[in-house]
Structure 1
Amino acid sequence: MNTRPAAPHSSLPEHPRAGAECGRVYSGLQPAERTRERYQKFIDAGIELFGTVGYASAKIKTLCHCAGLSERYFYESFDSREQLLTEVYETVSTELMVQVTEALSDPEANPKDAIRASLAAVVNFMLGDPRHAQIILVEIVGVSEELEAKRHQAMSNFAGQSMGALLILAGIKASVVKQLLGGDLGSHGGGSNPGDSAGARLQAVDPNHPLAEALEFARLTSISMVGGVNNMLLDAVIGGTTTNSERIIEVSYQLLCNASSGIRALSGTDATAAAPKVTPAT
């Protein structure tokens, strides 16, 4: 199991609460640094407890005990338990998008290998540390309208990445995909910044575009694929089959490749081009 602490969320402020603490240097840390350190301890405690016992059972006292800090320090950084859950979710989902983007943008990999590596990044991040899957797929569902909106945006971002991958596997050049979908798709279809404009790629397609039918097919397919992969991961977590990651990676890749064949026909790309070779998992 991956026990590496999640990276601090990129939007983490220098001072979780302005004016939360002032005073002398202690243990070599400035007051603001100590405040930030305590904030991170609560993020780590949230990942541990929300990802194991669950949000409903992780009361503030339990979170404070896990972090080794008092409730006074909890409210120094968070207004509520839901706010901590929100920031825990943003921390882990941002780290996941970073890993997916890095895989897609690997300059040493060809497009097909990079796409498969991006799928492996998702599956391994989720199942290598099942706390991640529990938080992203289970604990935030239905908590509040705000979290539902964040969850939908995150899924749209991943669907946007999938749409780019589908078009590239269909034989459309990466440079053309970048032009079609907007934003910087990286070398193989991933955004240069994690999640940057990815969700916007799922906007309705101009019906007059020469590739309108193929693009709409790819848009809807990418949305359905994100849901399908999520359900495979959820099944693994609930069913206790998290060691089945290689099979899930291979099935996910086959789904992309099979869908890309339909897009290839609709887009009119070179029909003689070899379809992506898929090696069945043993």
Structure 2
Amino acid sequence: MTFQAPKVAKTTADEQSTGAAFGRVYSGLRSEDRALERRGRLIEAGIEVFGSIGYAASKIKTLCQSAGLSERYFYESFASREQLLTSVYDHLSSELMRQVVQVLRVPGRTLTESVRAGMATVVNFMLDDPRHAQIIMVEIVGVSPELEAKRHQSMTDFAAESSQLVLLLGGVNPKVAANSDSVDDSLADVLELARLTGVAMVGGVNNMILDALRGGTSANTKQITEAAFQLICNSSTGVRVLAGN
């Protein structure tokens, strides 16, 4: 996966002559767009360096060499290595969530087909390029309280998506349940069970991926996907029973 800077339209001679309004133009790119392109290269370098030699062993000089940029351009975009690591983590996490949501919304699939596709997307994103799993599950851990809070929020977001799937598989419409005027004790129990199951699902899948990463079995994506799929299907049985469906 590569970081894509936005496409920039070609500028005319007249537009270049009015560079004071839009920023100076070099090789068809305004200075702002060149800075954005350099930022993208540094994020790609962060994926490579943090995902291979690790955050603790990395140096700004190494990151700049990987990006093909001088150190002054590093500080144009980032105040520190940690700030770059934060941007790399945000980039990977948001891209993973985007891909998961996209496959879950593909029309014409049954619910179970969509759930299986979602699980496969997570596993493949992490293990087809093991740098992703290394950064998201290893390098980010314990760096700072701010990054720990960000990591927890990201896991909470994925757990919320998982709990929605658990409810659907258990025969409960999450939108109807969430918009109910009065949530009685039985429905509250169902929603809390689904929430906790979502949290457990994220932890379980993360540990399977980490086990594959550490054990050298990252090619076992089909088996890990199937195990994750069975986990969420079996977990939804408790929701179904509690909901009386």
TM more than 0.5: yes
Equivalent residues of 2:43, 2:88 under 8 A apart: yes
After TM superposition, the structure 1 = structure 2 runs for residues 1-282 of structure 1, keeping only pairs within 5 Å, are 4-7=1-4, 24-172=24-172, 176-181=173-178, 208-269=184-245
1:66-118, CA deviations, whole angstroms, 9 ceiling, x for partnerless residues? Answer: 01111100000001110000000000000000001011111221111111111
* Structure showing greater Rg: 2
The secondary structure found in structure 2 opposite 1:211 is helix
How far off is 1:48 after superposition?
0.6
Moved over 6 A (4+): none
Structure 2 distance, partners of 1:33, 1:213, is: 51
Give the Å deviation of 1:210.
3.7
Structure with the bigger percentage of helix: 2
> Do 1:46 and 1:88's aligned partners in 2 also have CA atoms closer than 8 Å?
yes
Identity of aligned residues (%): 57
Unmatched 5+ residue regions in structure 2?
7-21
The one-letter code matched in structure 2 to 1:235 is: D
Is the contact between residue 7 and residue 95 of structure 1 (CA under 8 Å) also seen in structure 2?
no
Distance 1:84 1:41 in 2: 11
Structure 2 distance, partners of 1:178, 1:116, is 21
Change (3 A) 1:8 1:120: farther
Uncovered stretches (5+) of structure 1, i.e. residues with no partner: 10-21, 183-205, 270-282
Total equivalences in the alignment: 228
Question: Residue deviations 1:22-77, cap 9 Å, x none?
Answer: 96422221111111111111000001111111101111000011011111000000
Contact 1:6/1:95, CA 8 A, preserved across alignment:
no
TM-score (norm 1): 0.77
Segment drifting more, 214-223 vs 39-48:
214-223
Residues 166 and 194 in structure 2, CA contact (< 8 A), matched pair in contact too: yes
RMSD: 1.8
Q: TM-score, normalised by structure 2?
A: 0.89
